[in-house]
Amino acid sequence: MNTNFMEIKAGFQTYLENLYGKAETTNSAGEASFNLFDYNEELKDYLFSELNIDPDSLEGSLSEILDKALVENLYGNNQNAVSNNEFITGYLFDLLKDEDFAKVIDLNGDSKLDNNEIKEFMEYISLNDKDAENISYDDIYNGVNQVRNGEYIQAQLEQGNTTQAVADNIMETLEDINTASNNQTVTQTTAGTPVSAAGGGGGTGSGSSGDDNGEEIWVSGQTSLAGKTMEELQEMKVEKEEKASEERSKLNALYNGTDATVKNKEANVERAYELYMRRLEEEKVDTAKLKEMITQIDEQESKIDAQEVKISDKEADISKKEDAYDSAVSRRENLESALSALQSASSDDPEEQAAIDAQIAAVQAELSAAKTAEKAAYDALETAKAELTTLESEKDDMETELANLNAEKEAFEATVLETIGPNIAEAMNGYNNAKKDLETYKTNAAESARARIEAAEDDVSEIEKVITDNQNRSDTVEYSPNILGKSIVQEALKYLGWNEANGKADEFLYKWHSSSAQTGWCAAFVSYVMEQVSKNPELEAMGLSVPDWYTEIENQYWQVNVHRAAEKAGAIIEADQAQLGDIVLYDYDGDGTMQHIGIVYAIENGIMYTIEGNSGNTVKVNEYDLNHPKNQNITFVSVSGK
């Protein structure tokens, strides 16, 4: 794809001017100039503190500022400085230069980006923030994920900003991109370099947010759902279900007579029919037989339309039953795995063994219920599939009968044409073409509706799978024989969603840092969790306790101290030894200094799930592909020793 770099820059310039407004300032020569410093403190901090750009050099047009800040510095001789920041401008600029990404915001399908397309994209991804001048990294992050998931093109289609043909092509492009990257890790980048979290971690950040950027690396295909709470996932599921239901209503409207366009085209058919009959009568043709044929055809078409609605409703029913069955299977398999782990565990401590025995009994009861639920879900799904097969077979028979009726009508009309000739041909063709136009519209509109339904139902299935996986993960923790690790994870999960914006992060910041939200707090979060677990009297009775490393630090770089203490204690372990509740340390730039920290939630099939504080300024679950080269500088520290 030939992406026009100058159009990208011009579109970005237009967007920023619209976002922050224009202002005239006077430079040292007394000339009026635009100074972006007046409108974006984060940009000022980024350009001045991170890139060491002389503020005076930024006076001039916004285009000149972008040249200096984005072109010269991001793609020039200052690569090291760039790798240590996460400012959204660089990230967006990289996205717009990415050929694959450019394809999915190319609304007119001309294989290049113009100002309007960039403006639509920018406006869409900033919708989450009503106060545009405070647009955040999370706004960009979430918006971009929606673009990648196809929600953006669907919105543009509904708003009339693109055509169905272009939208279909973009959806195919997204499918190709997702397929190609299915087993790869997606990395947020600036100038092609992974964004570093240096200065984040447990210490002071260079920017105003103190964000660790712990969500820097995530598993392809899961970016929009990673870190979502169960409540958020349920809301997303309901939204997608409503979307699927809305689209299915549009599909059914094509066949139940309520679609406005169908009504108009049916009126055209009726007018053409009346003209056709009038012309036949003028030519002294007996119309009784033809009218009877047309009536039989219309009745058969009505039966087929009614059958289409039944099939559509049954397909919706099957989609829900498939999700229910898949969830039931996954839950049963997870409980079997949990039971196996518990049955192979043992402890010399009587209280700990008693706890394990109680968990075994609980899982066995859960498993019995899960098997019953799975059988019921399977039977319901198979019954629905059989009913759909019957409906489709009945429809096939109806369509065969319709084809016979149409063939009989066409033969009769051919006889009429032989007798009368061209005098009747125009009216005959007018009627038949009106019928064909109606059927073509219904066929094409139904195909588009089904594609949208499938996309929405796929989203529902994906969300349902994540909900089930989350529930399974929670069950795995609940029934883990690793009592200490379980306690750590369950404590950490209590704080999902706590962030700087809602003020709850202060609980961690002011407990384990000096006083300021300007600092990173990933380590403060882990410290807080460890402290709470250390107060659990039940663990103490079992002789279980967390390492006291979390008490060794007052304000900064807790993860650095943990790394040193763990090395000294011989607690560094390999990835295949890591368990829930263990500590994970991140060395983003490979310099041997840890920059971020989290808690291991689970490791499943090479994918690690963690609970991290200050990840996008919030406590959230992240996921990492441990087989990807970008994740080789991860260190695991054993906490539970199990």
DSSP letter string, 430-458: HHHHHHHHHHHHHHHHHHHHHHHHHHHHH
- AA letter at 385: K
CA distance 40 to 13: 14
Query: Is the Cβ–Cβ distance between 602 and 476 less than 8 Å?
Result: yes
Give per-residue burial for 586-619: e unless 16+ CB within 10 Å, then b: bbbbeeeebbbbbbbbbbeeeebbbbbbbbbbbb
3-state secondary structure of 517: coil
Q: What is the DSSP letter of 499?
A: B
Q: Supply the pLDDT for residue 115.
A: 62
Query: Is the Cβ–Cβ distance between 275 and 427 less than 8 Å?
Result: yes
E strand or H helix at 209, and its extent?
Answer: none
CA distance 593 to 595: 6
Handedness of CA 257, 263, 266, 270 (dihedral sign): positive
Handedness of CA 375, 381, 384, 386 (dihedral sign): negative
CA distance 327 to 373: 10
**Main-chain dihedrals φ then ψ at residue 550, nearest 5 degrees:** -65, -15
Query: Is the Cβ–Cβ distance between 324 and 467 less than 8 Å?
Result: no
Per-residue tokens: 208: 């105003």
| Alpha-carbon dihedral angle through residues 451, 454, 458, 464, given to the nearest 10 degrees | 150
Nearest to 136 by CA among 173, 92, 88, 197: 88
Q: Supply the pLDDT for residue 23.
A: 40
- The overall longest dimension of the chain from CA atoms, in Å, is 107
- Supply the Cα-derived Rg of the chain in whole angstroms: 32
- AA letter at 640: S
Residues in CB range of 253: below 8 A, 6 or more apart:
259, 262
Q: Supply the pLDDT for residue 285.
A: 86
3-state secondary structure of 632: coil
Nearest to 619 by CA among 514, 475, 502: 502
CA distance 482 to 447: 52
3-state secondary structure of 193: strand
CA distance 405 to 402: 5
CA distance 601 to 331: 18
End-to-end C-alpha distance for the chain, whole angstroms: 53
Nearest to 453 by CA among 304, 254, 223, 258: 254
Q: Supply the pLDDT for residue 431.
A: 93
pTM of the model: 0.58
E strand or H helix at 585, and its extent?
Answer: strand 583-586
Q: Supply the pLDDT for residue 403.
A: 96
| Alpha-carbon dihedral angle through residues 98, 102, 104, 106, given to the nearest 10 degrees | 180
Look at strands 583-586 and 596-604 and give their pairing: antiparallel
CA distance 186 to 223: 9
Tell me the helix, strand and coil percentages in the chain, rounded to 5: 65, 10, 30
Nearest to 558 by CA among 194, 200, 196, 86: 200
Q: Supply the pLDDT for residue 355.
A: 82
Average pLDDT of adjacent 10-residue blocks, the chain of 642 residues: 49 54 46 43 46 46 45 38 40 64 80 70 60 49 74 82 84 72 33 25 31 37 59 87 91 91 91 91 89 95 95 93 92 88 82 85 92 96 96 96 95 88 84 92 89 88 87 85 90 88 79 54 85 88 79 56 77 88 84 82 87 84 80 83 55
Q: What is the DSSP letter of 196?
A: P
Using a 10 angstrom Cβ sphere, with 0-12 exposed, 13-18 middle and 19 or more buried, the burial of residue 244 is buried
